[in-house]
Structure 1
Amino acid sequence: MLIKINTLLVYISNMNSYTDHPIFSSYAYQQGTFDEVFDKDYKVKPVYQTLFDIYGAHSIPDFSILNEKAKTSFFNQGITFQVYGNNQTKEKIFPFDLFPRIIDHKEWDHIEKGVLQRSKALNLFLWDLYHDKKIIKQGIVPEELINSSANYLKEMEGFNPPGGIYNHISGTDLIKHADGNYYVLEDNIRCPSGVSYVVCNRTALKRALFGVFDKYQIQSVTDYSQNLLEILETVKPKGVDNPTSVVLTPGVFNSAYYEHSYLAKGMGVELVEGRDLFVEKGFVYMKTINGPKRVDIIYKRIDDAFIDPKSFNKDSVLGVPGLFKAYLRGNVCLVNAPGTGVADDKAVYTYMPEIIKYYLNEEPILNNVHTYHCSRPDDLKFVLENVHKLVIKPVDEAGGYGISIGNKLTLEEIAKVKEVIKKHPRKYIAQPIMSLSVHATYIEGEQSFEPRHVDLRTYTLLGKDKSFTLKGGLTRVALQKGNLIVNSSQGGGSKDTWVLKK
């Protein structure tokens, strides 16, 4: 169903209760959206009242100084990301908003159960795809959908990954719709990024406005790295008592290099590039000043095609020759497992309700957004007739690249989108234009708070007989007015996310 936002604005500056807070005086409540901070009567929700009063007590000049302090904190920590486009690469400070998002414990319990359910179902799905293929044989998921996926690795067929885990790390993207319910936009299990910003957002906010943390009981997010290391060590190779783990990065020019270094430091393990490792007699070793040291677990932040030039892309200079064969021998664990990306496909997402029911015999806790896959004739016909009402997404892109929002397109642009879809229907899905919730966000140019669309990326870890979901997440903000794309690569920022204790 298409949800069209009615842009009737109600200015809360007309209400006496807001006149004492100049920084919020121009906030415009948008009917037709779910506002995280203000209710339908344009009053501050009780859970935000204390925050609202603390922030509102600051003058606009004072808050601008605090905002600059937070930016300086990010700059000094080297918290940046790369933006690619127009044959140029730019390094930017990750935009951070000082006004946090609050999620109460009951709401979080629902989210946590839902994302863990999806992670477990996806892991079982991957095991089945690379073994018996029962879900395909029974006609629940089309065989062609899997065979046509660029991320399916035949080399993984019949292989048992350590601990039986494929998606050790999952990032689930959620939105809250106008009906107040959460919906899953997509599952990220190839190499979900952004968790370092979750922790750094908390650190930056504490430095800028430490006093606000005295007023709320908030779950910690600083335990992620320790839990990640514990999860990794549950899937160590057989016969290894004290495993050596490393984080494998493509290098300093990668968009997520800050995160790679942050997680390695947080876990107390080495950050390595492909040139720092070598394979000998089926085992992986790290070069050190004291001689070679065996490596047992590799958290790889390199795409499958580049991890081993002997097995995949022969021109890769990022990977380690012989690494994949060492993995298949069971001498090293790769996280996430090679071939996991087949379940990361946005076309596979359309089958998630069936996948959950098939493997877990449970109803999905979190709803999917209704999705049309253009490889289906009926879906393709509907999409081509309704591009102007839909969001068109490539199934294998990330970072918000390649997305077309139908009601923002010109007639000429719509015609081009149709032609691209008709040429490569397998590569595209379409979804209704959902009404992402909005949250009060400080806009530097306006020097005031305005509503901006947000989503939430959660992080779930799976190990052998162990799991963990970070009690918080990356609330991403579309900083441009009316924009629905929250990715940092598309001009988005982020907020600290507070999960309240019971």
Structure 2
Amino acid sequence: MSGHAGSDQVRPSYRTLARWLEAAPSDLLQARSRQAELFFRRMGVTFAVYGDVESNERLIPFDVVPRIIGAAEWEQLEKGLKQRVTALNAFLKDIYGPQECIKAGIVPAELIFTNPHYRPEMQGRRPPGDIWTHICGVDLVRTGEDGFVVLEDNCRTPSGVSYMLENREMMMRLFPDLFAEHRIRPVETYTDMLLASLRASAPEHAGADPNIVVLTPGPYNSAYYEHSFLADKLGVELVEGGDLFVNDDIVFMRTTEGPRRVDVIYRRVDDDWLDPLTFRTDSTVGVPGIMSAYMAGNVTLSNAVGTGVADDKAVYTYMPEIIKFFSGGDPILGNVPTWRCREPAALKEVLEKLPELVVKEVGGSGGYGMLVGPASTKAEIEAFRAKLIADPDDFIAQPTLALSTAPTLDGGSLSPRHVDLRPFVLSSPAGVRVAPGGLTRVALKAGSLVVNSSQGGGTKDTWVLDD
């Protein structure tokens, strides 16, 4: 079994599971895995893959062996996540405000002002409650003895929380006896936490019961299932751009009983498409005039406009300094060692070591636009080398990490597979909260380091133990 602390030692958090697996019938996991797939198909738990000519929607493969984190390790992780997301909010507030971190030389000015996600419209503006990234997904990996480190930050519209919740519901249905043997912290409270966070972030005029909606680009979006799922769980309306309109800098929702004012919009529409009067004029999924209402302080957009700057992988490389600057302390969670290809000395070293490295576009996501050197052909490496030389500012590089593994069902037996973890962190004027666990993504191909669902990865339920 994997989940090892060493080559032949099971991690303490996995010991109860290891004993349970030894006593279980040999075909039990396969049978439960087939049941899970059937349930997910019936419920329509899918995601879309852009450019996939064979199928518009797929099931994300689900592995029935949970990923388990002990209470002490989670406590440290939670502290680190709160510190990091608090610093991210402070950073965003600063770059759209006094820009002290730029003046102090912590972050180069050109990295901010030439960033495609920097929104000059937000300069000097303050979102309601002074919160910029209400919902943040922080991707973590465990590497050897160093513990967890941060792989990237997702501050725009992080996805995956619906799969975290559905995975837990599935595991409770399939393995009630296994749950009875563990004290597992609940993730089902996430939607209550999210609703409380959104309410606390509403403009002052809204009072104690703001009208909240989830704004989706529509059913053709890859994460539409999640948008629909969250609106249902939150007990709020799922709306598209055409369901909203702006009058006198106030956002209204069209209803059968007439217009109803909207106070908080949990938007899953990227900045570019949000308002055709301010950003892309060809957007058909946004709401004309919504930025005017936002600038007037009449509506909360969650997450705030312009948060994509903090998603940028080049900005990520400065996060240890950013955290120290805004918190006054050392980062609890470190970064993966990273070369900034925009720096000539770093570029030279990366080009020399290219077959050994992972190279990513600074604005990329979903596992696209990257090179995994050890898994690439000579032709692919040389093609990427040309891209790097032509536009080095667009890339960062990292070593190929010795990621930790978790036991994963492979046919009829368990095999180690590489995993990462995306916890979800909620920020509001009432404070910062972390859902206990998160979405574990797993590389289902032996030896693969790519866990993204769009690249063939799967997911696991993540158990945080209470003792």
Structure 1 counterpart SS, 2:165: helix
SS of corresponding position for 1:85: coil
Return the alpha-carbon distance in structure 1 between the equivalents of residues 336 and 223 of structure 2.
28
Name the structure 1 match of 2:82.
Answer: 116
The DSSP-based 3-state class of the residue aligned with 1:232 is helix
User: 1:386 is matched with which residue?
Assistant: 353
Q: CA deviation at 1:235?
A: 1.5
Q: Is the 8 A contact 1:421 1:428 kept in 2?
A: yes
Shift of 1:40: 2.8
Task: Give 3-state SS (helix, strand or coil) of 1:439's partner.
Answer: strand
Q: Which whole-Å CA distance do the structure 2 matches of 1:90 and 1:393 have between them?
A: 26
Moved more, 309-318 or 129-138: 129-138
List per-residue Cα deviations over 1:447-469 (Å, max 9, x = no partner): 21111000111110000032210
Match of 1:189 in 2: 155
| Structure 2 equivalent of residue 475 of structure 1 | 440
The one-letter amino acid of 1:338's match is V
Corresponding residue number in structure 2 for 1:65 = 31
Mapping for residues 283-294 of structure 1, pairs under 5 Å: 283-294=250-261
Please point out which of 313, 319, 322 is paired with 2:289. 322
Partner of 1:213: 179
Q: Secondary structure at the match of 2:351?
A: helix
Q: Do the aligned residues in 1 keep the contact of 2:96 with 2:122 (CA within 8 Å)?
A: yes
Contact in 2 for aligned 1:373/1:429 (Cα 8 Å): yes
| Identity in percent | 48
SS in 1 for 2:171: helix
2:228 equivalent in structure 1: 261
Amino acid at match of 1:496: D
Aligned counterpart, 1:499:
464
1:89 Cα deviation after fit: 5.4
Name the aligned partner's letter for residue 356 of structure 1: I
SS of 2:388 mapped into structure 1: helix
CA distance in structure 1 between the partners assigned to 2:52 and 2:71 by the alignment: 44
1:170 equivalent in structure 2? 136
**What SS class does the counterpart of residue 266 from structure 1 fall into?**
helix
The structure-2 alpha-carbon separation of the partners of 1:127 and 1:46, relative to structure 1 and needing over 3 Å to count, comes to: closer
Deviations 1:312-340 (A, max 9, x none): 10000000000011100111010000000
**Aligned counterpart for 1:129 among listed residues 63, 79, 95:** 95
Kindly provide the CA deviation profile for residues 178-200 of structure 1, in whole angstroms up to 9, marking residues without a partner as x.
22511110111011110111111
Q: TM-score, normalised by structure 2?
A: 0.97
Q: Which TM-score applies when normalising by structure 1?
A: 0.91
Q: Which residue of 2 aligns with 1:281?
A: 248
Q: Tell me the distance in 1 between the aligned counterparts of 2:431 and 2:377.
A: 50
Looking at structure 2, the residues matched to 56 and 252 of structure 1 have their Cα atoms a distance apart, in angstroms, of: 44
Query: Structure 2 stretches of 5 or more lacking a match?
Result: none
RMSD: 1.3
Separation (CA, whole Å) in 1 of partners of 2:182 and 2:26: 24
Counterpart CA distance in 2 for 1:301 and 1:379 is 36
Structure 2 residue 394 is matched with structure 1 residue 423: no
Do the aligned partners of 2:29 and 2:409 also contact (CA within 8 Å) in 1?
no
Which stretch of structure 1 is more off in the superposition, 135-144 or 153-162? 135-144
1:74–1:94 CA contact under 8 A, matched in 2: no
What's the CA shift for 1:53? Answer: 2.8
- Structure-to-structure mapping, 1:5-84, within 5 angstroms: 35-36=2-3, 38-40=4-6, 42-84=8-50
Distance 1:268 1:238 in 2: 22
Provide Cα deviations, 1:254-305, integer angstroms capped at 9, x if missing partner.
Answer: 1111111111111111010001101111100001111110000000001100
Distance change (3 Å), C-alpha of 1:342 and 1:215: same
Count of equivalent residues:
466
Is this contact kept in 1: 2:139–2:150, CA < 8 A?
yes
| Structure 2 Cα separation of the partners of residues 409 and 365 of structure 1 | 34
- Separation in 1, partners of 2:326, 2:15: 43
CA distance in 1, matches of 2:337, 2:105: 20
